[in-house]
């Protein structure tokens, strides 16, 4: 249970980073991309990517169909 809440909190922090970097709210698809990643390694990879990618690459990632 604690791990599930930790992952949800982590997903929320990732979404916050994205909204700040993009300076807009996320679309449903973009939010779903973040939510589709579970597990500590997956979330760590997504977090690293959203912090370092260019804005164009970040939008492309968030709108990709592959999780």
Looking at residue 1, its pLDDT comes to: 62
Please state the rounded mean pLDDT for residues 3-15: 95
Tell me how many domains the chain contains: 1
Q: Is 6 inside any structural domain?
A: yes
Range of the domain at 26: 2-62
Q: How many CA atoms within 13 Å lie on the side-chain side of 40?
A: 3
Q: Is 67 inside any structural domain?
A: no
pLDDT tens-digit series, residues 15-31: 999 999 999 999 999 99
pLDDT tens-digit series, residues 29-64: 999 999 999 999 999 999 999 999 999 999 999 999
SS3 of the chain: helix, strand, coil, percent, to 5: 75, 0, 25
DSSP 66: -
């Amino acid at each position: 249970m604690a791990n599930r809440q930790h992952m949800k909190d982590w997903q929320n922090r990732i979404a916050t980073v994205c909204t700040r970097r993009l300076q807009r709210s996320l679309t449903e698809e973009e939010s779903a991309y973040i939510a589709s990643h579970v597990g500590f390694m997956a979330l760590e990879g997504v977090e690293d990517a959203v912090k370092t990618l260019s804005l164009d690459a970040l939008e492309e990632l968030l709108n990709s169909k592959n999780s």
